[in-house]
Structure 1
């Protein structure tokens, strides 16, 4: 419907009705006065509709972002332009699908020189093809008694991808020349396997690094400096099963895992290692193979964007066995996963332990901040005590699974959702400095 009354005309009609009824009751011969009020209201309504700018006079233009990183916010702009005599203001509303969120779905803007523009913050919630489902614009007639409305269903798709802006920001911080100490990646030199240079021996250096022949030639102690060996294989294995689709800190676990994996891929390729992406839920889904060089990063990015949300339970037997069959040399295998209880984690522990016999396994999981808060909260009611006891028991079971994995030689990285990326990079650099692969 593109024409309907405003609240003002309803109030106007209701306000005149009691007076008209009183006149008709007191003087029945003046009953026509009551009908006259209704006719006057209807006439004003028709006049306002005729004077209002017609629907055909409005043209709508949409300006949406080409893509949005999940968790990011971009602006959607709707331009309205009237031909002929425009209204003083126009209301614009938009509707989006479940992958997007329009923070303010309705906006009222002034019309100047026949044109108006409304902007809506558009937030990406889930990866995939976000769709703009509808745009509505409405305006009043000169008397404010009638609404004219135009609805449009644009075939507009806004792709929601992994949050590459965050990956670039973190990556640039690591490699920027003016990065502050503690942020820049400076761990290439150390206890590596490749000879790099000679330098004057300093306190704290390993005595075994002293080059006695060069020391005798230069007349002072000279040590050998090594750098970490590169060209290692790093495989990023992402569990995309049901538990990883559950939210943590307002975002799906798999989305946070994909962002952290891409950050590690960027850093690894930049430092000369070979990186591959692998995902699985009930069966293997995505497999890139290992690639080298920063030019391969866009390909990894596209494959990571294909990792979908799943409602299926993770099959660690099939997933990790398939992963092991794709590795032809010792590698650093980074597994992003989560588990709810020791029973569901039993198969994971078995197959991760088997994989750890040949490869270095780094298992990345999210700290359960909700359980920690329940366990640490001060009890005010009897139910609070029950919740705290159950939460503490679940946390103990979780720690028992992680301790079992550590005994099998698996490295564990358990971090808060917001800290998972930087913490993972620090652990990767430490692994490479210590030549654990």
Structure 2
């Protein structure tokens, strides 16, 4: 904190008011002679107060200490709390105007906070930031303009507080859905868990034979020891392969509340994959546009969530046309076991679906496929509004047609045995996790 006695000196608005009053007194003294002595006294007092405040602000090793308080990561699309810790080292209370040099991505050029700090006291100035893109955000210096209770001059104090913070997909819902996954509250929502007996490789127990059990499962060694028929009982494997498939094509560029549909999908994918890992499933990730960009193999270990988070963080796209042909070829070649595929994409019309339906049907023939696409919230507002003009009636009719096509897309997917989730961006995370827990409770995953 280096002092510059001239460069860091600024004039307060109150000083200009005082000097203006003094100048008017001298002006009126030409017409009223006795005001001359009054004007001289005012000038001397005003000059003395100015000199006193200069000495108060710059004399000695006094100053103001500031430190930015923020985490190593910010959450994409969330209100992130930032704080500036301020310590007043002056022996008197100061009025401070604090300017934080925010990252260029926010395009915030008028950030200023004013407060009064008592002598020797420490306080924290809180504010929030909502990043709208992933990547590295670089904070600059903290500038403090302090003045004494006289408020005639200001001293600028520059604190070097450069800091690099990364913006990752939002983790706001991780704790909430972690508790939901562990408590398994789906039983209170009317879902009944059905135990299905199968011949997978996951052994459950040896039990007494009852009529109807598969005779091929008789355990002859256990039967010989017990003297009665015993059978091996198997259950479906619990550690299933779960893949989030994210379309990074042109259809995911549509903005909503400052974020693109791609960013909403990335945020929801992180929460969903965390829930899948907590449910003892193996979680993986596939992203694609004109080609396959990332393929993280489904695993279940302590570092998998970190690997998925880092992969989602560095996703970039030019929003080119999506190649479902490349996606289908890669999935059929790389994924040899039946998996649950959660596909984040967007279809606005039946024509856009029909171009890709052949590939979706091929994926659904080998894997359990769930297609997640989005409602157009702007069209919903138009449909619910009242049309007063002929043009408004036309627009509302077109909005109704697009909404009808969305419902037709759901029916068309269901006709070919493809699960679908039609949701809004703000409800995406909730609806996706609920659908997964529903399928899990029905033993489909």
TM-score by length of 1: 0.78
Task: Please give the per-residue CA displacement for 1:334-384, whole angstroms capped at 9, x wherever unaligned.
Answer: 110124445555543343233333322211112222211211222345554
Match of 1:52 among 54, 57, 65: 57
Conservation of the 8 A alpha-carbon contact between 1:127 and 1:160: yes
Partner of 1:141: 148
**Aligned 8 A contact 1:278 1:288 in 2:** yes
Q: How far, CA to CA, are the matches of 1:304 and 1:184 in structure 2? A: 34
Q: TM-score, normalised by structure 2?
A: 0.77
How many Å separate the matches in 2 of 1:23 and 1:88?
A: 36
- Corresponding residue number in structure 1 for 2:165: 158
2:82 pairs with one of 72, 76, 84: 76
The RMSD of aligned alpha carbons is 4.0
Which residue of structure 2 lines up, in the alignment, with residue 202 of structure 1? none
Q: 1:14/1:176 Cα in 2 relative to 1: closer, same or farther (>3 Å)?
A: same
Q: 1:325: which partner in 2?
A: 333
Kept in 2, the 8 Å contact 1:136–1:149? The answer is yes
How far did 1:290 drift? 1.8
What is the aligned length? 416
Q: Is the 8 A contact 1:191 1:434 kept in 2?
A: no
Residues in 2 aligned to 1:129 and 1:345: alpha-carbon distance in whole angstroms? 36
The answer as to 2:364 corresponding to 1:356 is yes
After TM superposition, list the pairs within 5 Å mapping 1:38-187 onto structure 2.
44-53=49-58, 57-83=63-89, 85-97=91-103, 105-113=112-120, 115-152=122-159, 154-176=161-183, 179=185, 181-182=187-188, 187=193
Instruction: Report 1:356-395 matches (<5 A).
Output: 356-395=364-403
SS at match of 1:357: helix
Cα 1:8–1:175, aligned 2, differ >3 Å: closer, same or farther?
Answer: same
Gaps of 5+ in 1: 200-207, 214-223
CA spacing shift, 1:191–1:377, aligned 2, 3 Å: farther
Q: Distance in 2 between matches of 1:2 and 1:296?
A: 51
Indicate how the Cα distance of structure 1 residues 197 and 115 shifts in structure 2: closer, same or farther if over 3 A, else same.
closer
8 Å Cα contact 1:101-1:123 kept in structure 2: no
Please say if residues 192 and 227 of structure 1, whose CA atoms lie closer than 8 Å, have aligned partners that are also in contact.
yes
Residues 232-381 of structure 1: pairs in structure 2 closer than 5 A: 232-248=240-256, 251-293=259-301, 296-308=304-316, 310-317=317-324, 319-320=326-327, 321-342=329-350, 345=353, 347-381=355-389
Q: Is the 8 A contact 2:192 2:441 kept in 1?
A: no
Q: How far has the Cα of 1:184 moved from its partner?
A: 11
Deviation at 1:291, TM superposition (A): 1.2
- The residue number in structure 2 matching 1:12 is 18
Q: Report what 2:222 is aligned to.
A: none
Q: Which residue of 1 aligns with 2:225?
A: none
Contact preservation (8 Å) 1:237, 1:277: yes
Worse-matched range after superposition: 314-323 or 8-17:
314-323
Q: Judge conservation of contact 1:105–1:120 (CA < 8 Å) in 2.
A: no
Change (3 A) 1:42 1:225: farther
For residue 173 of structure 2, give the secondary structure of its aligned residue in structure 1. Answer: helix
> CA contact under 8 A between 2:57 and 2:147: conserved in structure 1?
yes
1:398-413 matches, cutoff 5 A: 398-413=406-421
Contact 1:69 1:162 (8 Å CA) reproduced? yes
- Unaligned 5+ runs, structure 2: 1-6, 216-231
